[in-house]
Structure 1
């Protein structure tokens, strides 16, 4: 399996904004953190992954939801080790329709497929760069210094917030919304 790129945005785009070289260690760490944060919130890698194999449980229903989308290609579908052909795919939604009824309950469905975006959508790259820039500039700060009988406290930036643009991009690219309560 070829995994997703480590970054959802080009390090050079962040480097220009921060006036740093694109291989700066802290810059790359901030971009990696922003990428992990985005992927965690949308619940899939976003960028292209090839030959990914997932194991799902049969549901007793005609439709089976894959854990990542969009689906670029389905290479194989095995139900309890037996090849199943004629499976229909809803590419954008990441859904598989059983060709002759329902996915058998208590069965293991192994799917090998390619999924994701190549290139990464511009709105995703933009918010990841923006978040990485904020992460890079966040100073953990010294919270308190004590010398003898004197003590001084400083404010510390506890967390990096999100923008409306970030929220909109997450909402647009998030999968599996059915478990929201």
Structure 2
């Protein structure tokens, strides 16, 4: 699997700081942006950048109080932009529809083989993520990378707008690399429960 690109560029960071980097500083900035992007992705559990993925999931029974269908598959990457195909146990299906990041299968005979012995395996090919990266996500990546660039030893705490923000630093004082502060996590939080995605009907 190819490495995911940084969520902001060295040019973005240079423009935000109003400065020009030397070649050595550009390399350092690129490394820090890649670290910051990995930290943001890990926090959100999302790839963020637009991509197409084919993956296999275990279908679960639908909750009658939530879904009027036979089975449900939850896609981990959001937002879901398009679903190209849905295969259940290797067979293409068209009796499905999308709601948010869930694929709903119209009907399924759970009490008959093979579902009676094991849950169906569903292979979904879908496009997900943002293009371009949202400005607030990019801003958090730039801020986190810049903090590590200008303060490599990492502050233990600072006060921003009357609110204390703490950065984790080992007892020995050595830097941990790029970390997210509480205000940055708060700015990203809305992406952890995104619901407004494109709706696609099975064909």
Give the TM interval when normalised to the shorter protein: 0.7 to 0.9
Q: Is the 8 A contact 1:72 1:116 kept in 2?
A: yes
Q: Is the 8 A contact 1:55 1:111 kept in 2?
A: yes
Which residue in 2 is equivalent to 1:150?
none
Q: State the 1:87 CA deviation.
A: 1.6
Structure 1 Cα separation of the partners of residues 13 and 139 of structure 2: 10
From 132, 135, 142, the equivalent of 1:122 is: 135
Q: Is the 8 A contact 2:152 2:177 kept in 1?
A: no
The answer as to 2:58 corresponding to 1:57 is: yes
Structure 2 Cα separation of the partners of residues 174 and 168 of structure 1: 11
Which runs of no fewer than 5 residues in structure 2 stay unpaired? 63-70, 155-171, 195-203
What is the aligned residue count? 160
Q: State the 1:5 CA deviation.
A: 5.0
Structure 1 Cα separation of the partners of residues 46 and 86 of structure 2: 20
How is 1:1-181 mapped onto 2 (pairs within 5 angstroms)? 5-16=4-15, 17=17, 19-21=19-21, 24-50=26-52, 52-61=53-62, 62-90=71-99, 93-100=100-107, 106-139=119-152, 155-158=173-176, 160-174=178-192
User: Residues 22, 78 of structure 1: CA spacing in aligned structure 2 closer, same or farther, 3 A cutoff?
Assistant: farther
Which residue in 1 is equivalent to 2:169?
none
Q: TM-score, normalised by structure 1?
A: 0.75
Structure 1 Cα separation of the partners of residues 61 and 22 of structure 2: 50
Q: State the 1:137 CA deviation.
A: 2.7
User: Residues 86, 30 of structure 1: CA spacing in aligned structure 2 closer, same or farther, 3 A cutoff?
Assistant: same
Deviations 1:53-75 (A, max 9, x none): 01101212233210101111101
Secondary structure at 2:47 match in 1: coil
User: Residues 134, 25 of structure 1: CA spacing in aligned structure 2 closer, same or farther, 3 A cutoff?
Assistant: same
Q: Is the 8 A contact 1:48 1:114 kept in 2?
A: yes
Structure 2 Cα separation of the partners of residues 37 and 4 of structure 1: 14
Structure 1 Cα separation of the partners of residues 5 and 59 of structure 2: 32
Which runs of no fewer than 5 residues in structure 1 stay unpaired? 142-153, 177-181
